[in-house]
Structure 1
Amino acid sequence: MTAIHAQPHTQRVRRRAERRPEPESRPGYREPGSRRAARALRGGGALRDALTLALLPLPLLALAVAATPLAFTGGGTRRWFGGRNESARADAQAAKDAAAAAFYELDTAQRDLRISIETISAVDSSPGAQRTAQQFAALGRRIDEASHTYITAVDAHDLERDDLDAGDASHARTELGKAKDELVRVKGELDRFQQGLGPLLDKAETQLARLAPAVERARQGLLAASNALDAVRAAGLRADDLAARLAALAPELTKLNQGAGQHGVPETLARAEHVQRDAEAVRAEAVRLPERAAEIDKRLVSLRTRAQALTTRAGKVDPVLSELRRRFTAACWQDLQQVPDQATENVRLAEERLKEAAQARAEQRWPDATSLLSTVRALLNGTDEAVSAAGDRLQRLNAVARDPQQEIQRTRFAIRDAQRLAMAGRNTPDPRHARPLDDAVARLEHATAALEGRHPDYWHFLTETEAVRRTVARVVSEIREERGAGA
């Protein structure tokens, strides 16, 4: 029960109910007359006295009773009140016992329900859960009022005192009965309130059921990450960045250990998932670190070899450019003029970055080493494409100069195939498709006519035919998409 009542009163009521002596052992207890009379006849002397009294004439019997009160009081000194007072006392005591039972039933039910409300409040912060907590608080005030009425009634009536008469006992019975009825009524309200908590309580218990496993998984994840780092260090690798990331999770672990009671269940669940996810990432990278170090060593060797090979290939670009200048117009080779110098510069920069990457590897700065190697790879890829472009240009120009018809027929076939597709199932082509195909035909004819001059621009011819084929391919793709959508 809540603490609005004086605790000594509550404790006194509980002690009385729990350790109430048997009626015969209570101080001042007076047995009913019939029981005392029966007990008085148990011994031989008592039997003789009773028989003697029975044989006396009535006047003498009255004098004998007045002269020997101890024979009817069992030898005690208490006043005998008679059956009516004792019956009223017993009824009041029964009412008191019934009220005590109702009090303890209500107290137990409230304690159990408070656990459920605290569970819901810890997990659920929704308006519905907040209203439930407010309703329970209001119900608790009514419980306090009923409990106060009961305790006041118990303290107001001492059913064990000697001079308790039938009127006092009847009054006590009435007040204790009213207190019991109020306790039962409030207990009914409490039961009905508890029946409506099912959905909220189920949701809260589901969340709580997830809580302990989630926190345990987070702790195990941190332990696994720590063990993986220890193994990496034992292999001679520092993994300082991973150690720093793992150390950053220490405050989160502290909050997990403080529990959901301090930080809330939803927040603790989210924190546990975050810790587990980050710890697993650290563990996975730590496990892969020896492989990563070996991969960096391998890439260092491979990129050094490739840089050396590109240095050799770049030296062959000048003879290619010389032949292009000698045999073809300037438009066919002007964009390649800077390839030799650019290739030399790129290779030089790549070699410098390789040295920096090797230093980062030696210092076990793994992210820096990886980034530098990516830069080296990009430089060498660009240089490789530029050096290859010069050789590819010469090869393609030689082929078209020998036989331009092969390129022309290839382009015309692509246009005719697109035209047949555009006419399939139609009497006239869609203008959206016919117009770009007609333009493609015109461009091909213009590029072919340009080859008839004294110094044909073969590179322009090749770029035009490639552009025409790209346009035709786009039209074909649009036609197929439209027909596919219509199907």
Structure 2
Amino acid sequence: MTATPGQPDSPSAPRAHRPRRPAPRTPGRTRRSTSRTPGRPLQDALTLMALPLVAALALPAAFAGGGTRRWFGGRAENQRAEAQAAKDAAAAAFYELDTAQRDLRISIETITAVDDSPAARRAVADFDALGNRIDEASHRYINAVDAHDLDRDDLEASAASRARAELTAAKEELDRVKQELDRFTDGLGPLLGKAETQLARLAPAVERARQALLAASDALDSVRAAGLRADDLAARLAALSPELTKLNQGAGQHGVPQTLERAARVTREAEAVRVEAERLPDRAAEIDHRLVSLRTRAQALTTRSEQVEPTLSELRRRFTAACWQDLQHVPDSAAENVRRAETRLAEARTARGEQRWADATALLSTVRALLNSTDEAVSAAGDRLHRLNAVQKDPQQEIDRTRFAIRDAQRLAMAGRNTPDPRHARPLDDAVARLDRAVATLEGRHPDYWHFLTETEAVRQAVTHVVSGIREERGAGH
């Protein structure tokens, strides 16, 4: 049906084309067309039908992405976990063995630094042999670790099982060697204890040596500050400098026993230097005093020696030659000894002025010996005259003194016995006879009183020897 002009459009009539107002555009955006091309609904339907299949195929890849392993099943993963556990256990055993070996090496080095005995050398050889066993076990472990990559994505169950077996065997070998190492360590106890004892002595010994050297140096400084030289002491202290250098270098270079011995020697010698340095002011004062004292004594002996000649003259006039011949040399020897003593005194005074303390001391000792000898010789002449005068006046006193000594010895020999021991009786009888002979020499016109005195003295000495023997025997028997 045709539409009547002026009537509204019927529903079935086509709508007349009317121009539209274009929609306003948003800046930067374009209009989307609302028209559809023929066949697009079929394509959209096919696309929606294909989505579940694509998603199903893409889901496992999403879980396997990002660097994670591919999944091959429960058995392979279990074998991988067991192999990894075996690897961790072997690594722990390897670390424990390596730590124990390092500790043991320190102990061996401690022993060798101190001890060079056959037992110590045998311990070092055994440690080297044990080190070879440790190297073998360690290489077996390292080879097992390098042979199996447990992080591979395509690790098969059989490969994981082999890795677990090899790593477990490597760990067992490491454990066995560790047990050998522990037994060896326990056996080192005595050697290590001895070495540690010496090492414990080392540091204090070295420190004592250093302190002794410091004290000696301080003492020398004090002496020099007082105006006294101590060149000989300084030289002795300087000679210890190389020893101090070796002490500072340590026992690792020179050995513990040698270092201990060196420290003891340095301590001893430095202490001696310190003591002498501290005594040096007193020593100087003592030398000054001895110079004065010996000079005075030499002068006194000069005066006394001048009296020897008058004494000898009296001996010659009153007694036989046997009583004074051995004294003839006294005046000359006394004068010579005094002269030599005065010469040595002058030398000692010079040495004191130059502070050569050792020389001054030695010279003064020589002077003292010369004066002692002179004093004895000069005194002998006067003593001879005195004793000869006494025995000439009353010889019975010397006789009674000697007979009393003999009778006292005879009573001791008979104490507790009916008959004397011949070993004691015979020398006592000889003493009686010898005394009688000495007394008989006094009956002549010119008695040899000096012979008489020497004989009675010899008799008393013989009797004293017998008495000492008796007392020793009875003391031993008691």
So what's the TM-score if we normalise by structure 1? 0.85
One-letter amino acid matched to 1:253: L
- Report Cα offsets for 1:78-131 as digits up to 9, x if no partner: 643122222221111111111111111111111111111111111111111111
Question: Unpaired segments of 5 or more residues in structure 1?
Answer: 1-62
Instruction: Report deviation, 1:417.
Output: 0.7
- Looking at structure 2, the residues matched to 250 and 315 of structure 1 have their Cα atoms a distance apart, in angstroms, of 57
Instruction: Report deviation, 1:69.
Output: 3.5
- Looking at structure 2, the residues matched to 249 and 79 of structure 1 have their Cα atoms a distance apart, in angstroms, of 78
- Looking at structure 2, the residues matched to 73 and 98 of structure 1 have their Cα atoms a distance apart, in angstroms, of 35
One-letter amino acid matched to 2:263: A
Q: Indicate the SS of the match to 1:69.
A: helix
Residue aligning to 1:51: none
Residue aligning to 1:21: none
- Report Cα offsets for 1:212-265 as digits up to 9, x if no partner: 100100110011011111111111111111111111111111111111111111
RMSD of aligned C-alpha atoms?
Answer: 1.4
Contact 1:307 1:347 in 2 (8 A): yes
- Looking at structure 2, the residues matched to 257 and 475 of structure 1 have their Cα atoms a distance apart, in angstroms, of 65
Q: Does 1:68 align with 2:62?
A: no
- Looking at structure 2, the residues matched to 433 and 137 of structure 1 have their Cα atoms a distance apart, in angstroms, of 77
Q: Indicate the SS of the match to 1:222.
A: helix
One-letter amino acid matched to 1:76: A
- Please, which of 265, 290, 299 is the counterpart of residue 299 of structure 1? 290
- Report Cα offsets for 1:449-474 as digits up to 9, x if no partner: 11111111111111110011001111
Mapping 1:203-218, distance limit 5 Å: 203-218=194-209
- Looking at structure 2, the residues matched to 148 and 253 of structure 1 have their Cα atoms a distance apart, in angstroms, of 47
Mapping 1:272-311, distance limit 5 Å: 272-311=263-302
Q: Does 1:437 align with 2:428?
A: yes
Residue aligning to 1:268: 259
Contact 1:448 1:461 in 2 (8 A): yes
Question: Unpaired segments of 5 or more residues in structure 2?
Answer: 1-50
Query: Residues 113 and 69 from structure 1, CA distance in 2 versus in 1: closer, same or farther, beyond 3 angstroms?
Result: farther
Q: Indicate the SS of the match to 1:226.
A: helix
Contact 1:304 1:351 in 2 (8 A): yes
- Looking at structure 2, the residues matched to 324 and 115 of structure 1 have their Cα atoms a distance apart, in angstroms, of 90
Instruction: Report deviation, 1:423.
Output: 1.1
Instruction: Report deviation, 1:195.
Output: 1.5
- Looking at structure 2, the residues matched to 331 and 354 of structure 1 have their Cα atoms a distance apart, in angstroms, of 37
- Looking at structure 2, the residues matched to 321 and 98 of structure 1 have their Cα atoms a distance apart, in angstroms, of 113
- Report Cα offsets for 1:432-453 as digits up to 9, x if no partner: 1111111111111111111111
One-letter amino acid matched to 1:164: L
- Looking at structure 2, the residues matched to 306 and 177 of structure 1 have their Cα atoms a distance apart, in angstroms, of 101
Mapping 1:94-105, distance limit 5 Å: 94-105=85-96
Instruction: Report deviation, 1:339.
Output: 0.9
Contact 1:73 1:80 in 2 (8 A): no
- Looking at structure 1, the residues matched to 91 and 435 of structure 2 have their Cα atoms a distance apart, in angstroms, of 108
- Please, which of 360, 369, 391 is the counterpart of residue 382 of structure 2? 391
- Report Cα offsets for 1:293-350 as digits up to 9, x if no partner: 1101100000000000001111111111111111111111111111111111110110
- Looking at structure 1, the residues matched to 363 and 124 of structure 2 have their Cα atoms a distance apart, in angstroms, of 60
- Please, which of 79, 97, 114 is the counterpart of residue 123 of structure 1? 114
- Please, which of 466, 470, 476 is the counterpart of residue 475 of structure 1? 466
Q: Does 1:463 align with 2:451?
A: no
- Looking at structure 1, the residues matched to 126 and 275 of structure 2 have their Cα atoms a distance apart, in angstroms, of 50
Q: Percent identity at matched positions?
A: 79
Mapping 1:257-406, distance limit 5 Å: 257-406=248-397
Q: Indicate the SS of the match to 2:443.
A: coil
Residue aligning to 1:160: 151
- Looking at structure 2, the residues matched to 310 and 96 of structure 1 have their Cα atoms a distance apart, in angstroms, of 104
- Looking at structure 2, the residues matched to 80 and 439 of structure 1 have their Cα atoms a distance apart, in angstroms, of 129
Q: Indicate the SS of the match to 2:71.
A: coil
One-letter amino acid matched to 1:72: P
Contact 1:421 1:476 in 2 (8 A): yes
Q: Which moved more, 1:299-308 or 1:64-73?
A: 64-73
- Please, which of 219, 232, 237 is the counterpart of residue 228 of structure 2? 237
Contact 1:70 1:76 in 2 (8 A): no
Instruction: Report deviation, 1:76.
Output: 3.5
Instruction: Report deviation, 1:196.
Output: 1.4
Moved runs in structure 1, 4+ residues, more than 3 A?
Answer: 63-67, 72-79
Residue aligning to 1:27: none
- Please, which of 134, 157, 164 is the counterpart of residue 125 of structure 2? 134
Q: Indicate the SS of the match to 1:181.
A: helix
Determine which structure has more spread, i.e. the larger CA radius of gyration: 2
Q: Indicate the SS of the match to 1:425.
A: coil
Q: Indicate the SS of the match to 1:273.
A: helix
One-letter amino acid matched to 2:183: R
Instruction: Report deviation, 1:66.
Output: 8.6
- Looking at structure 1, the residues matched to 146 and 54 of structure 2 have their Cα atoms a distance apart, in angstroms, of 38
Q: Which moved more, 1:168-177 or 1:353-362?
A: 168-177
- Looking at structure 2, the residues matched to 229 and 128 of structure 1 have their Cα atoms a distance apart, in angstroms, of 47
- Report Cα offsets for 1:4-23 as digits up to 9, x if no partner: xxxxxxxxxxxxxxxxxxxx
- Looking at structure 2, the residues matched to 426 and 75 of structure 1 have their Cα atoms a distance apart, in angstroms, of 128
Q: Indicate the SS of the match to 2:416.
A: coil
Contact 1:119 1:201 in 2 (8 A): yes
So what's the TM-score if we normalise by structure 2? 0.87
- Looking at structure 1, the residues matched to 267 and 295 of structure 2 have their Cα atoms a distance apart, in angstroms, of 40
Q: Indicate the SS of the match to 1:148.
A: helix
One-letter amino acid matched to 1:409: D
One-letter amino acid matched to 2:156: D
Residue aligning to 1:33: none
Query: Residues 434 and 72 from structure 1, CA distance in 2 versus in 1: closer, same or farther, beyond 3 angstroms?
Result: same
- Please, which of 442, 449, 453 is the counterpart of residue 451 of structure 1? 442
- Looking at structure 2, the residues matched to 336 and 94 of structure 1 have their Cα atoms a distance apart, in angstroms, of 113
- Looking at structure 2, the residues matched to 70 and 101 of structure 1 have their Cα atoms a distance apart, in angstroms, of 43
- Looking at structure 2, the residues matched to 319 and 177 of structure 1 have their Cα atoms a distance apart, in angstroms, of 118
Q: Indicate the SS of the match to 2:64.
A: coil
